[in-house]
Amino acid sequence: IGDIDGDVYVYSYSCLEGENKELWSSGHHLKSCRKISFSQDGQSLFTVSKDKSIHILNVEEGRLVTRFSKAHNSALNSLLVIDEHLFATGDDSGVLKIWDLRKGTSIMEMKQHEDYISDMILDRNKKLLLTTSGDGTMGVFNIRRRRFEFLSEPQNGDLMAISLMKRGRKIACGSSEGTIYLFNWDGLGATSDRFALKAESIDCMVPITESIVCTGSTDGIIRAVNILPNRVIGSVGQHMGEPIEQLAKCHMGKFLASCGQDQKVKFWDISSLSSVIVDDYRKKKKNKQLKPLSHKAFGNGEDFFADLKEVATDLEKENGGLSETDSD
């Protein structure tokens, strides 16, 4: 967990009561920690900050291994670990950098966006890196040949999040206007479809299956959304009106972690989403309420694994089943 003071906390979590515990914390950043990511082997933790620095810490000991003090000229805003040697960072002014740990420096630097880089993903071959930006565009960069490919047409509002869907054939981008923009892989310059959610924004999203993505919004609701046909399946959970800052899926795919401005980390059971199939292309029903996908989806104070950071005292296993609807 990274916080606004620049501190980083690492916890172990368990479904057993009282077993959640803080392992270590780090206070090396001078300003807010904006993104964190584990290395592929889980042995290192990468963090980027508003103070323009990149830190790499040893997960077992919490020891600072590598520091890039002035990694960018502007505050860092996004981070993506590519492989055991390479990682990418994006800043508030739209600069993208690719770093090589073997050389201890950046090997590629480009500025194609006019505003902050909000999110990044790789294609399945780890050849192309795609970025979203506050200028409303999606960027495509060839990291093997170290060159810029192109920008998409600008969309309404900031593009905040990006996910690879449909076995890499579709790209989904969430916007600050609450719309998901879809791109075909063979036509990334212009959108192929769009889907407006009844959400204030889409600030973060995580793919759960090849067709289902979970989105986090300023309204505090986590929505499960099917892509093509475009349907809001229902609410996975919420942070009671507090903006959701980040979503992450556990490596086994059973739990979705969410953190928000309510100073809580919550875990939600999403295991049943893997069996949900939406194949109804009929016109979606209107004016239907968002359906809760479990008995805790609308936050009754007993969220599954809630308050991890505060070492919650009333943990219980999630027994609610998931069901399907075709409308928000």
Compute the distance between CA of residue 293 and CA of residue 205 in angstroms, rounded to an integer: 17
Q: Does residue 91 form part of some domain?
A: yes
> Cα separations (Å) of 193 from 39, 73, 182, 227?
34, 36, 5, 10
What pLDDT digit, counting tens, does each position of 118-160 carry? 999 999 999 999 999 999 999 999 999 999 999 999 999 999 9
- Of 208, 259, 233, nearest to 321 by C-alpha is 233
Q: Does residue 269 form part of some domain?
A: no
Compute the distance between CA of residue 224 and CA of residue 235 in angstroms, rounded to an integer: 6
Q: Does residue 210 form part of some domain?
A: no
Stretch among 133-142, 166-175, 265-274 having the lowest mean pLDDT: 265-274
pLDDT at 311: 31
Q: What is the mean pLDDT of residues 193-206?
A: 95
Compute the distance between CA of residue 91 and CA of residue 73 in angstroms, rounded to an integer: 8
Question: Is 60 exceeded by the pLDDT of residue 326?
Answer: no
Question: Is 60 exceeded by the pLDDT of residue 30?
Answer: yes
What pLDDT digit, counting tens, does each position of 60-113 carry? 999 999 999 999 999 999 999 999 999 999 999 999 999 999 999 999 999 999
Q: Does residue 234 form part of some domain?
A: no
Percent of the chain with pLDDT over 70: 88
Question: Is 50 exceeded by the pLDDT of residue 327?
Answer: no
Instruction: Kindly report the CATH number assigned to the domain that includes residue 30.
Output: 2.130.10.10
* pLDDT tier at 283, thresholds 50, 70, 90: low
Q: What is the mean pLDDT of residues 252-280?
A: 91
Dmax of the chain from CA atoms?
Answer: 56
Find out whether 230 and 223 touch, Cβ atoms under 8 Å: no
**Could you tell me which residue, 14 or 103, shows the higher pLDDT?**
103
Q: Does residue 62 form part of some domain?
A: yes
Q: Does residue 223 form part of some domain?
A: no
Find out whether 236 and 254 touch, Cβ atoms under 8 Å: no
What pLDDT digit, counting tens, does each position of 219-251 carry? 999 999 999 999 999 999 999 889 999 999 998
Range of the domain at 16: 1-109
pLDDT at 280: 74
- Of 211, 232, 209, nearest to 222 by C-alpha is 232
Q: Does residue 214 form part of some domain?
A: no
Find out whether 161 and 135 touch, Cβ atoms under 8 Å: no
Q: Does residue 18 form part of some domain?
A: yes
Q: Name all contacts of 139-144 with Cβ < 8 Å and 24+ positions apart.
A: 139/96, 139/112, 139/113, 140/188, 141/96, 141/108, 141/110, 141/112, 143/82, 143/86, 143/88, 143/98, 143/108
* Residue 53: both structure tokens together: 């620095």
* pLDDT tier at 299, thresholds 50, 70, 90: low
Number of separate domains in the chain: 1
**Could you tell me which residue, 95 or 316, shows the higher pLDDT?**
95
What pLDDT digit, counting tens, does each position of 172-183 carry? 999 999 999 999
* Residue 118: both structure tokens together: 């909000």
* pLDDT tier at 4, thresholds 50, 70, 90: very high
* pLDDT tier at 292, thresholds 50, 70, 90: confident
